Structure 1
Amino acid sequence: MEPTLKHLSKEDIHKIAAADDFHIAPYREDGVTYGTPTWIWSVEVADQLYVRAYNGSKSRWHRAAMEQKAGKIVAAGMTRQVSFEPVAGEINERIDEAYRKKYKGSPYLDAMISKRATAATVRVK
């Protein structure tokens, strides 16, 4: 299924954030071929969709997302072509809270709200 060429709607963001099946595939260096889809966590804050790299900014998908600025996601039964932008600043406190709420009880939560992962926060749009 080819991805839809549009930014995510608020409805899409709500559906994606409520699900736990988010796969990200930034473009490869050629800017045409998608990388291998990687399952990651996603959260919603103020009608925006955010993801973080568990292994920080050295993560392969994160490096590709920051270099290529675009790719596709597959989540909540949807495939979408999207763009990626880095996130920094106070919004990360709200993103931390969203991770705590959505993934409460997970043994991976502390890593996802660590400085390493926070430094690799990405807005998906």
Structure 2
Amino acid sequence: MGNWTAAELAEIDAVSEIQVAGSRRDGSLRSFRIIWHVAVDGALYARSVNGPDAAWYVGVRRQMSGAITWNGEQRAVDYVDDPTHDDAVDEAFRRKYGNGSPTQSLNRQPARGTTLRIDPK
């Protein structure tokens, strides 16, 4: 597992959306999809608002690697199932995006069961 620098994590957390893509077996990337994300305890987290059947989530889970983009930057990443900070991730989503229906959806099942930590390679 790599670690984001404090500057990288602050820059990524400052944008409202990132794009994620999973890797194919041959190493090429699937299509990028826009998602919401949060920083918690020095790590980057994301969930699938549409649960485990969302196309981007299914694609990411196949190899558990891929890339993210933000502010014109692209970084190779690993995706890791990590429910250990779920309560803090819930709060971070509320703090960052408010408590509207998209956030409420992210903070309950089935979306809550899709928590991924996104680690840089």
Same fold (TM over 0.5): yes
Does the CA contact (< 8 Å) of 1:73 and 1:81 recur in 2?
A: yes
* Aligned-residue offset at 1:109: 1.2
Percent identity (aligned): 25
How far apart, CA to CA, are the structure 1 residues paired with 2:3 and 2:72?
A: 16
* Distance across 2 between alignment mates of 1:7 and 1:87: 15
| Residue 122 of structure 1 pairs with residue 102 of structure 2 | no
Q: Distance in 2 between matches of 1:52 and 1:39?
A: 12
Q: Distance in 2 between matches of 1:123 and 1:12?
A: 15
Cα distance in 2 between the residues matched to 1:64 and 1:10: 28
Alignment-derived partner of residue 80 in structure 1: 75
The equivalences for 1:13-92 within 5 A come to 13-28=9-24, 30-89=25-84, 91-92=85-86
Q: 1 CA distance for matches of 2:32 and 2:112?
A: 21
Q: Aligned in 2, Cα 1:31/1:62: closer, same or farther, shift over 3 Å?
A: farther
Unaligned runs of 5+ in 1: 1-5
1:109 matches 2:109 = no
CA distance in structure 2 between the aligned counterparts of 1:87 and 1:50, rounded to whole angstroms: 9
Instruction: Please report the TM-score for the alignment, with normalisation by the length of structure 2.
Output: 0.88
Structure 2: gaps of 5 or more residues: none
Structure 1 segments (4+ residues) deviating >2 Å: 6-10
Corresponding residue pairs, total: 118
Scaled by the length of structure 1, the TM-score of the pair is 0.86
Partner Cα distance (1:13, 1:26) in 2: 20
- Root mean square deviation of aligned Cα: 1.6
